[in-house]
Amino acid sequence: MEIQQITEGKRDYMDMLLLADPQEDMIMKYLDQGDLFVLYDQGQAVTVAVVVLLNHRKCELKNIATMPEVQRKGYGRYMIHFLCEHYSNRCDLMYVGTGNSEATLGFYRECGFVNSHIVAGFFTDNYREPIYEDGVRLVDMVYLKKRLDSEIDVKKVVDLAVEAGQVLLKNGAEIFRVEETMTRICKRFHVDYVDTFIISHAIFITAEKGMNEVYTKVKHVPLSGAHLGIVAEVNELSREISAGHIGIDAAWERLREIEKIPGKRGAYQVFAAGVGSAAFGYLLGANLQESLAAFFIGCLLYVWVLFGKRMNMSKIIVNMVGGALITALAILAVHIPFLGISRLDGMIIGAIMPLVPGLAFTNAIREIADSDFLSGTVRMIDALLVFVYIAVGVGTTLSIYNSFTGGVMI
């Protein structure tokens, strides 16, 4: 089954609409300004509905009709469920007006509607011919209402919140940001109770709605790098959800688009690594020639880093080989006579900087300061191990060089 919103050619469905409202001029009063939805089953239109937006976050279901040959098969109930969820991000209440037929009133009550008010004499005042339903002449319009938050599926909301939290966590966001985003999403869609437990590589969440709907989910999130552009986009999406500007389905689509945001082009990353290496080298005591050499070493280093990421190499291998590569290239630069370089320290220290996990280290300190000791400790250990891998690569290369030459100028 598929439901489509019709924006053009609405009058093509007039015959179906007349099944529920037998006077065409009454239909025309709300058809053009209303939203028309059609439920298709195997390519055949079986149910139509028209909804009109009212003031103060309210809407009214003006018409819903199912083809006589497929009635009592759940199509009308399916359409109402869809409409309630569709308008839940824009409206708090949905009204529906009908006659005083017990069968029709019972159907709407089964769909979650409750009595609202009565407009006396509506059918006798507005319709030229008497209208009968189940042998009873319709006189008064009976209005029912339904709170649209009751139609939200708590599982669907929690899945959205967990996915947003996962995207944030694996792209370098802080623990408090992940918790806040997930809680805001759940609260926006009227989840009564939310309890989250976030650590650096896992998400735990339990949500309740009413007495009968309880949903718990656990999601493993591998430690990864950082993409602050994605973090910023998820933050913006969270604000739009909180403001009620976007529904669940649209939020899912946006989230999938955000996940596909690529990183900066490899050439830009390589150039930035070179500039960073040269700048840090100069700040830490390297002369102009050594800083220039650090620039090229940093560029070559990041070519290796990007290759390692593309091949899904272990972080241990990438950083150890990176440290060794930096040292080997720095030693090579010392032995090129026309460069006039005599010291290794500035070049090595500067070129190491693109490998240093500064964001992870800073976030670890922040999480420990926020009393997230477990997450902070895990991130801290992960960052410190990167320092160890780099040191092993640099130290091993210097040791090998020292064993062949009997000494090295640092």
DSSP string, 18-29: TTT---HHHHHH
Strand order in 213-220's β-sheet?
193-199, 202-209, 213-220
Fold annotation for 2-151: Aminopeptidase (3.40.630)
- If one compares 211 and 326, the residue with the highest pLDDT of the two is 326
Q: Of 51-55, 338-342, 373-377, which has the strongest mean pLDDT?
A: 51-55
Does the pLDDT value for residue 282 go beyond 70? Answer: yes
Tens-place pLDDT, residues 66-113: 999 988 889 999 999 889 888 887 888 999 999 988 888 999 999 889
Q: Determine the pLDDT at residue 159.
A: 93
Residues 6+ apart with CB under 8 A from 405: none
Per-residue pLDDT, 396:
94
Give the whole-angstrom CA distance, residue 93 versus residue 276: 56
* 3-state SS, residue 36: strand
Assess contact for 283 and 348: CB atoms under 8 A: no
Residue 353, H or E segment: none
pTM (predicted TM-score): 0.63
pLDDT (0 to 100) of residue 233? 95
Task: Quote the pLDDT of residue 212.
Answer: 65
Asked whether the beta carbons of 364 and 373 are under 8 A apart, the reply is no
In the predicted structure, residue 292 carries a pLDDT above the cut 90: yes
Per DSSP, the three-state class of 193 is strand
Instruction: Supply the pLDDT for residue 189.
Output: 79
| Burial class of residue 134, CB neighbours in 10 A (0-12, 13-18, 19+) | exposed
Average pLDDT over all residues of the chain = 89
Give the residue range(s) of CATH 3.40.630.30 domains in the chain.
2-151
Place of tokens 């102009």: 288
Q: Is 7 exposed, middle or buried (0-12, 13-18, 19+ CB in 10 A)?
A: exposed
Q: Is the pLDDT of residue 410 over 70?
A: no
For residues 141 and 347, give the distance between their C-alpha atoms in angstroms, rounded to a whole number: 84
Strand arrangement of the beta sheet that strand 44-53 belongs to: 2-6, 35-41, 44-53, 58-66, 93-98, 141-147, 114-119
Residue 200, φ and ψ in degrees, nearest 5? -60, -20
Q: Which of 7-16, 86-95, 308-317 is predicted with the least confidence, judged by mean pLDDT?
A: 86-95
pLDDT (mean) for 326-342: 87
Among 11-20, 91-100, 243-252, the range scoring the smallest mean pLDDT is: 243-252
Nearest to 145 by CA among 108, 177, 106, 119: 108
| Helix ranges restricted to H, 19-170 | 24-31, 75-86, 102-110, 122-126, 154-170
Q: How far from 187 is each of 214, 249, 404, CA to CA, in Å?
A: 15, 17, 66
pLDDT tens track for 116-168:
999 999 999 999 999 988 888 899 999 999 988 655 678 888 999 999 999 99
pLDDT at 300: 96
The arithmetic mean of pLDDT across residues 221-225, rounded, is: 79
pLDDT band at 407 (very low <50, low <70, confident <90, very high): low
